[in-house]
Amino acid sequence: MLGLGRANLAVAELLIDEKSDLYLYEEHMDMISERARELIAKGDIKTYQDTNFDFAVTSPGFSEKHEVIRTLRTNHIPVIDEIEFTYQRLDNPRIIAVTGTNGKSTTASLISNILKHADMKAFLGGNISPGQPFSTALFNEPCGYYVLEISSFQLMRVDKFHPYIAVLTNISRDHLNWHRDFEEYRQAKMRIFLNQKSSDYAVVNGDDPVLKDVMDDIRSQTVLFGLNDHHGAWFNGMFAYGKERLFPVDKLALEGDHNKMNALASLAVAKIIGIDNSAIEQGMMTFKSLPHRLEDLGTFKGIRYINNSMCTNEIAAIASFKAIDGPRIIIVGGKQKGDTGEHYLSILVKEAKACIILGENAAYINNFFEDKHFSSFTVAHSMRDALTKARNFARPGDTIMLNPGFASFDYFSDFADRGEAFRIAVQGD
């Protein structure tokens, strides 16, 4: 096993129950759970060594460039993700898989909420955070549907994984520190359709220019969502599916046009399954923002606070920034993933009231702002420092927004850790 984080722990538990010999390669022993430590201490999991493995289950963080992955590949040892492992262990699961650069978690959660209002038993998990890995389903009673968020990392290692409904929300540049280039990243996303048949469904963003050229490569029945195709899910004041109009768009609690697109994808899935319109409406209208995704932390002394820590790429940052009206003070910065974020930063120069830079790339953003003759910014050295400095710019009616636009693996363990740091700073005063 490569890594023993939350995704692989349930896999390890199952293999131990089956009396398998497990070997672990882990680069961050200080970060594994107490349960993982117990299994290692008991000798149920041995230290990695060169041996003749039957297969390897890897955590998503290990890229194909990693030395251990290359060694395994050279020795013709199959390398799979826990998504593939779990799929092969379940009995013909009916899967709704969601991938894309942005909107995966919200769309998967919306679908799950609609299924709940339709009284359908469903498992929600996969790459979604907070959430449960797909492998935990191995210890649960069977479900009618398994709604899974799937990352490009995981899709690189699927073999037999077969979704009944595969959703692709959008594709834009991201994770270029993990993938070789954008083309590899795009092809990884397309692998969600790899094993689909003509009896399956592909729900695809018809407005995404990257996806227009790949429609012919999909063997399943394609259902589009967006503004420009009225045969699938669309809206013009009302959510609609084909010629059928359902309910007003403004009843959706989520903010931003990008979330309306997530809702359209969820609507398409629900109509494919045959869910009643009243359950669809209830599921969509009762859904609130997930933690760290345009999460409204409240208004204090006239200043609104938005936690959007999950925003780790440029496209998401721009969509989220534009979703909030009024004067905005933005906490921006982090670790770059092979992208510059120049388009997002240029928008901040023109439209943000002020910016607080927090992250590994602070010097880069600082220089960018200075080159653009933008002076309403300062650099912070901690989240609490960032919030203090943001408040110096803020007045009643303004919004202070954590909208980084870059990854969190500089000062924080992940985006949730960064979001919690912001939440604690806001609520601590």
Q: Judge if 130 and 238 occupy the same domain.
A: yes
Domain limit, last residue, from 53, 77, 101 = 77
Query: 228 vs 349, which has greater pLDDT?
Result: 349
pLDDT at 429: 57
Of all residues in the chain, the percent with pLDDT exceeding 90 is 80
Sheet holding 201-205, edge to edge: 122-126, 145-149, 95-99, 165-168, 201-205, 221-225, 233-235, 238-241, 244-248
Query: In this structure, what CATH number is given to the domain that contains residue 184?
Result: 3.40.1190.10
Beta strands 122-126; 145-149: pairing state: parallel
Q: Judge if 257 and 119 occupy the same domain.
A: yes
Tens of pLDDT, residue by residue over 113-149, are: 999 999 999 999 999 987 899 999 999 999 999 999 9
Position 274 in a domain: yes
Say if residue 110's pLDDT is above 80: yes
Q: Judge if 254 and 317 occupy the same domain.
A: no
Q: Judge if 237 and 99 occupy the same domain.
A: yes
Domain limit, last residue, from 262, 285, 308 = 285
Q: Judge if 32 and 121 occupy the same domain.
A: no
Q: Judge if 73 and 88 occupy the same domain.
A: no
Section 340-345 average pLDDT: 95
Query: In this structure, what CATH number is given to the domain that contains residue 377?
Result: 3.90.190.20
Which position has the token pair 């013709």? 76
Over the chain, what is the mean pLDDT? 93
Q: Judge if 421 and 366 occupy the same domain.
A: yes
DSSP readout, 2-36? Answer: B--SHHHHHHHHHHHHTT--EEEB-S-GGGS-HHH
Phi, psi for residue 357 in degrees, rounded to 5: -90, 125
Say if residue 176's pLDDT is above 70: no
Position 1 in a domain: no
Domain limit, last residue, from 77, 93, 118 = 77
Q: Which domain holds residue 344?
A: 295-427
Q: Judge if 401 and 280 occupy the same domain.
A: no
Position 290 in a domain: no
Position 194 in a domain: yes
Section 22-47 average pLDDT: 91
Phi, psi for residue 331 in degrees, rounded to 5: -95, 115
Q: Judge if 64 and 90 occupy the same domain.
A: no
Position 356 in a domain: yes
Q: Give the integer Cα–Cα distance in Å for 81 and 347.
A: 38
Of all residues in the chain, the percent with pLDDT exceeding 70 is 99
Tens of pLDDT, residue by residue over 214-257, are: 788 899 999 999 987 778 999 988 999 999 999 999 989 899 99
Section 387-399 average pLDDT: 98
Section 293-311 average pLDDT: 95
**Number of independent structural domains in the chain:** 3
Position 114 in a domain: yes
Structure tokens at 155: 């899709």
Q: Judge if 376 and 402 occupy the same domain.
A: yes
Beta strands 377-379; 328-332: pairing state: unpaired
Per DSSP, the three-state class of 184 is helix
Quote the strand ranges of 287-379, DSSP E.
295-300, 303-307, 328-332, 354-357, 377-379
Q: Judge if 268 and 388 occupy the same domain.
A: no
Say if residue 54's pLDDT is above 70: yes
Q: Give the integer Cα–Cα distance in Å for 108 and 98.
A: 6
Query: 174 vs 368, which has greater pLDDT?
Result: 368
Q: Are 60 and 151 in contact (CB under 8 A)?
A: yes
Position 374 in a domain: yes
CA gyration radius for the chain?
A: 22
pTM, 2 dp = 0.89
Helices H / strands E in the chain, number of each: 14, 19
pLDDT at 206: 92
- Give me the residues paired with residue 328 across strands: 399
Q: Judge if 305 and 279 occupy the same domain.
A: no
Position 191 in a domain: yes
User: Among 377, 381, 383, 340, which residue's Cα sits nearest to residue 356?
Assistant: 377
**CA angle (367, 370, 373) in 5-degree steps:** 155
Q: Give the integer Cα–Cα distance in Å for 91 and 181.
A: 36
Say if residue 51's pLDDT is above 80: no
pLDDT at 338: 77
Q: Are 225 and 190 in contact (CB under 8 A)?
A: no
